[in-house]
Amino acid sequence: MKSLGLYVHIPFCKSRCLYCDFISSKLTDDSALKLYSQKVRDEIDILGEQGLFDNHQLDTIYFGGGTPSLLKIDYFRTILESKFLNRRYSLKEFTIEANPGSIDYDTIIALKKYGLNRVSIGVQSLNDKSLNAIGRIHDKDKAIEAIKLAIKAGVEVSVDLMLGIPYQTKEDIKFFIDTVVDLGVNHISMYMLSLEEGTALTKLVEEGKLEVASDDEKVELLDYASSLLKEKGLYRYEVSNFARKGKEAIHNTKYWRLEDYIGVGVGSHSLVDNKRFYNPDNFEDYYACINRKELAHIKEEDLTESDVEEEYIMLAFRLSDGINLVDYKNKFGIDFDEKYKNQINKYNKFLNINNNNISIKEEYLSVMNSIVVDFLS
Ligand SMILES: C[S@@+](CC[C@H](N)C(=O)[O-])C[C@H]1O[C@@H](n2cnc3c(N)ncnc32)[C@H](O)[C@@H]1O
Ligand code: SF4
């Protein structure tokens, strides 16, 4: 049986961070979360009745957002007790994303009964001036408290760190890494700030009211952070992700390995048997589909073999393991090193090559796009 990941999107936040353009709306009333969790459960039931979970073994669950930590335990239960999830539990990993401003100890403990073993906390920075400038609802102390709380609850903790935000220095990054690793964090995701169109931060930067790092400076910060983490025993297993061996994110690795996952909720998407499905990105259309007891798939894409190959190469090169030659041959029926021998020669000094894998050397991962583009023909 093929393994399957379940992604549940929770599109609510207490307030919008100035840089963010994720699908999420400001939570004004708890009843909106209650209704939403019922609809998500209904969506899972519809998917189950239409056989989308058949021939698959659900082994990872990921609640992302938005802010999943806003959900009360009863709302998590509403979703998790769908009959289609209940009988398929054999979880290797169950993660929820949490904002330090809304994490709750008792909820984590209660979720452990459903298999929760990981919390991904959006810390972003431990410099109060930076946190304030990007519109976070928490300060440094609250973020540290959140990490301690999750570790005390006995789950693995991952934290997000943003690079290139206002007022950030190299010392801040060192302080961040020293602090979180000493607290027991075994996984860090690092995101270079992206100035998204229409966000408040982009406007402030365009008006010259706030300064952010340039692209080159961000790459330098990422490489600096990467070297600090290496000294602490966390290796770069993906362009933006660092972990101790054995603590890599299993669910997210499915995305990078083009394995099957089902996304439920507003704005989510799925990949099942080389088909991609997209849900509506607004509540109205999403609820309308669910109320009609229909799949909430507004768009369906049948990936051709060449689409799959292109995505496979693009994503696999993000990983420190890179292209697995046997897996590639099994999937596409040809030898990767034969088909791409010219490119492999051209980029030889940037690549690790052995009998099993071809990957981009760790020190070049930050600039991988300029290499990978030549493999996409
Ligand atoms: C869904 S959020 C994580 C959970 C929660 N919403 C929070 O922010 O605490 C996913 C992560 O994406 C990153 N992110 C969001 N917008 C970004 C942007 N414009 N540039 C870089 N990173 C961004 C942040 O690090 C954020 O923690
Ligand atoms: S970064 Fe997280 S908390 Fe902030 S608006 Fe985006 S999804 Fe919400």
What superfamily in CATH does domain 2-255 come from?
Aldolase class I (3.20.20.70)
What does the alpha-carbon distance between residue 158 and residue 248 come to, in Å, rounded to a whole number?
A: 10
Angstrom distance (rounded) from CA 162 to CA 136: 12
* Ramachandran area for residue 184 (φ above 0: left; ψ -120 to 50: alpha; else beta): left
Average of per-residue pLDDT values in the chain: 95
Q: Are 281 and 288 in contact (CB under 8 A)?
A: no
pLDDT above 90 for 11: yes
pLDDT at 376: 86
Atom number in ligand 1 closest to CA 196: 19
Can you tell me the distance from the alpha carbon of 93 to that of 62, in angstroms, rounded to the nearest whole number?
8
Chain centroid to CA 348: 30
Q: What is the pLDDT of residue 88?
A: 57
Q: How many angstroms does the Cα of residue 66 sit away from the middle of ligand 2?
A: 5
* pLDDT tens digit sequence for 273-320: 999 999 999 999 999 999 999 999 999 999 999 999 999 999 999 999
Residue 324 tokens, joined: 């697995």
Q: What is the pLDDT of residue 363?
A: 86
**Rounded CA separation 21/98 (Å):** 17
Q: Using the atom order of ligand 1, give the atom closest to the CA of residue 101.
A: 9
pLDDT at position 26 is 92
Whether 89 shows a pLDDT value over 70: the answer reads no
Q: How far is the CA of 67 from the centre of ligand 2 (A)?
A: 7
Q: Could you give the CA distance from residue 221 to residue 169 in angstroms, rounded to a whole number?
A: 9
pLDDT band at 87 (very low <50, low <70, confident <90, very high): low
User: Taken in order 338, 339, 343, 344, is the CA torsion positive or negative?
Assistant: negative
Over residues 130-141, mean pLDDT: 98
Using CA atoms, how far apart are residues 227 and 62, in angstroms rounded to an integer? 29
**pLDDT average, residue stretch 125-130:** 98
- From the list 93, 67, 42, the residue with the least C-alpha distance to 264 is 42
Instruction: Give the model's confidence band at 377: pLDDT under 50 very low, under 70 low, under 90 confident, else very high.
Output: low
Ligand 2: which atom is nearest the Cα of residue 13?
Answer: 8
What ranges do the domains of the chain cover? 2-255, 320-375
Closest-CA residue, ligand 1 atom 25, reads: 160
Given a cut of 80, whether residue 78 has pLDDT beyond it is yes
Number of neighbouring beta carbons within 10 Å of residue 299:
10
**What are 33-52's pLDDT values in tens digits?**
999 999 999 999 999 999 88
What's this model's pTM, rounded to 2 decimal places? Answer: 0.96
Q: Which ligand does the CA of 17 lie closest to?
A: 2
Q: What's the pLDDT score for residue 366? A: 83
Residues contacting ligand 1 via CB (< 6 Å): 19-20, 22, 64-67, 97, 99, 122, 124, 160, 162, 191, 193-194, 196
User: HEC profile for the chain?
Assistant: CEEEEEEEEECEECCCCCCCCCCCEECCCHHHHHHHHHHHHHHHHHHHHCCCCCCEEEEEEEEEECCHHHCCHHHHHHHHCCHHHHCCCCCCEEEEEECCCCCCHHHHHHHHCCCCCEEEEEEECCCHHHHHHCCCCCCHHHHHHHHHHHHHCCCEEEEEEEECCCCCCHHHHHHHHHHHHHHCCCEEEEEECCCCCCCHHHHHHHCCCCCCCCHHHHHHHHHHHHHHHHHCCCEEEECCEEECCCCCCHHHHHHHCCCCEEEECCCCEEEECCEEEECCCCHHHHHHHHHCCCCCCCEEEECCHHHHHHHHHHHHCCECCCEEHHHHHHHHCCCHHHHCHHHHHHCHHHEEECCCEEEECHHHHHHHHHHHHHHCC
Instruction: Please write the tens of the pLDDT for every residue from 207-246.
Output: 999 999 999 999 999 999 999 999 999 999 999 999 999 9
pLDDT for the residue 219: 92
